[in-house]
Amino acid sequence: MYGELTYKETRDFDSGQLGQDKASNSAILEALSVLDLSSGRALQTRAVEQQPVQTKADNPVATANTAEHGPDGSTIIRGSDGSTIYKYPDGTTVWKYSNGSQITEKPDHTFIWQYSDGTFIQQNPDGTFYRRYSDGTTIQKTADGVVTWEKPDGTLIRQNPDGSFYRKYADGTIVQRTADGTTSFQKPDGTLIQRNPDGSIFQRSPDGSTAQQNADGSAIWRYANGTVIRREADGSTSQENPDGSGVWRYANGTTIWKMADGRIIQQNPDGTVVQRNADGSVFARNQDGSVTRQYADGMRVTSFQDGTKQRNYADGTTTAVDAAGKVTSVDNGRGHIMRVHYDQSGQVDGISSVNGSTWTRTGQYSWRSDRGAQWNGRILGVDQNGHAYYQPVNGRTFAFTRQAQVQPG
């Protein structure tokens, strides 16, 4: 049985007041809640129940033997159940119970509870306290308002007056919050989640991959293999791969692909597509469905939907090609155009010269101009570069180039 506890109010863990417990035998419960950042739920820890305290009505010491005095000047009151009260000259009072527990009140109103199971509690007048429980768990509050809870399994919880805290669990997991409201969750495998006051979040995975989500809605993901993905505040996205390839999608509808071989393809909101190659050439799909290829040497080839093509050379000359691949006209860039006509077998049967005359084949080896002139021989054809090849009946083959120059064939 316990004797009457004539001490002032003690203090509990959360408010600094254990609460006056003279009126009942209610247990002193202490509970901590630990925020699990990964799930957002509060995990209720175990309650520590202290031994009950009896009231004066149940107190045998109050009606026990008369007081005696100790050699140190103390007053000793012994109860019939073996409990004893010691009152010392300096104002200290000690209650000792038959079960080995005792309570000490010092003149400055410091209270110390010592229980037979090893539990030790000290409550100081300034609100600080120290508590050690039978399982080795300790809780203390220092003068600066910091409360620290430690368990034998390595669990450590530190709560600061400014609302910040640090919590390390037995498995090595760490949860902490700084005074500005930044919270973080870290696991031994390297996992890290950090939430900032502005709403931004940073995450790190065990393999080193990271994710950063910003308050403006932008985000960036960096993967262990080197891949980087970005999302901008305007909704634009991009992905860059370790091999140099990537894709960029912009809010205006433009999309750009970069290939590992150096090609870059751009699709515009109007449906046009431009492809830039590593050799400097550029391919483009136009709004009319035609495709233009610009080569590094300056030549540009436009392919139309009907199968015809137009070649523009760096020297300013131009050739037109029909769907069958035959050159039908050559412009030397100086105002002279040579036009070529073919028969059903694909042989040249008509051609116009740079002086404006038109020649028509009249026989196997005979030709007549629209101006009455005649020529005997064959026109062997016109190559893809616009050069026409002539073979006179009694002469050497020669070429009439697209630049309107005559060269040996």
Ordered per-residue pLDDT tens for the chain, 409 residues: 223 222 232 333 233 333 333 232 232 223 223 333 223 322 223 333 333 333 333 444 444 456 798 889 899 999 888 899 999 999 999 999 999 999 999 999 999 999 999 999 999 999 999 999 999 999 999 999 999 999 999 999 999 999 999 999 999 999 999 999 999 999 999 999 999 999 999 999 999 999 999 999 999 999 999 999 999 999 999 999 999 999 999 999 999 999 999 999 999 999 899 999 988 899 999 999 999 999 988 999 999 999 999 999 999 999 999 999 999 999 988 888 899 999 999 999 999 987 788 999 999 999 999 999 999 999 999 999 999 999 999 889 999 998 888 898 7
Residue 36 · residue 87 · CB < 8 Å: no
Rounded to an integer, what distance in angstroms lies between the CA atom of residue 231 and that of residue 249? 10
Rounded to an integer, what distance in angstroms lies between the CA atom of residue 222 and that of residue 70? 76
Residue 84 pLDDT: 93
Angle at 302 between CA 407 and CA 269, to 5 degrees: 160
Rounded to an integer, what distance in angstroms lies between the CA atom of residue 55 and that of residue 395? 139
**For 289-396, where are the E strands, in sequence order?**
291-294, 300-303, 309-312, 318-321, 327-331, 337-342, 348-352, 358-361, 366-369, 374-382, 388-392
Residue carrying the six token digits 């073919």: 342
Q: What is the CA radius of gyration of the chain?
A: 49
Residue 257 pLDDT: 96
Which amino acid makes up residue 244?
A: G
Exposure string over 262-298, b if 16+ CB within 10 A, otherwise e? ebebbbbeeeeebbbbeeebebbbeeeebbbbbbeee
Which amino acid makes up residue 65?
A: N
Residue 57 pLDDT: 38
Rounded to an integer, what distance in angstroms lies between the CA atom of residue 180 and that of residue 133? 33
Which amino acid makes up residue 78?
A: R
Strands 93-96 and 102-105: antiparallel
CA nearest 28: which of 9, 3, 47? 47
> Residues 6 or more apart from 195 whose CB is under 8 A from it?
37, 182, 183, 184, 201
| 183 three-state secondary structure | strand
DSSP structural state of residue 50: P
Angle at 86 between CA 82 and CA 88, to 5 degrees: 170
DSSP H or E segment with residue 58: none
| 56 three-state secondary structure | helix
Task: Annotate 93-116 with DSSP letters as a single string.
Answer: EEEE-TTS-EEEE-TT--EEEE-T
Backbone angles phi, psi at 57, to 5 degrees: -65, -30
Task: Annotate 254-295 with DSSP letters as a single string.
Answer: -EEEE-TTS-EEEE-TTS-EEEE-TTS-EEEE-TTS-EEEE-
> Residues 6 or more apart from 387 whose CB is under 8 A from it?
399, 400, 401, 402
CA nearest 312: which of 283, 328, 292? 292
Question: Can you name the residues that pair with 258 across neighbouring β-strands?
Answer: 246, 264
Residue 351 · residue 341 · CB < 8 Å: yes
Rounded to an integer, what distance in angstroms lies between the CA atom of residue 293 and that of residue 287? 15
Looking at the chain, the number of H-run helices and the number of E-run strands are 0, 40
Rounded to an integer, what distance in angstroms lies between the CA atom of residue 176 and that of residue 194? 9
Q: Is the pTM of this model over 0.75?
A: no
Structure tokens at 159: 């709560």
Rounded to an integer, what distance in angstroms lies between the CA atom of residue 165 and that of residue 105? 32
Rounded to an integer, what distance in angstroms lies between the CA atom of residue 85 and that of residue 68? 11
Structure tokens at 318: 């131009």
Phi/psi region, residue 248 (left: phi>0; alpha: psi -120 to 50; beta: rest), is beta
DSSP structural state of residue 248: E
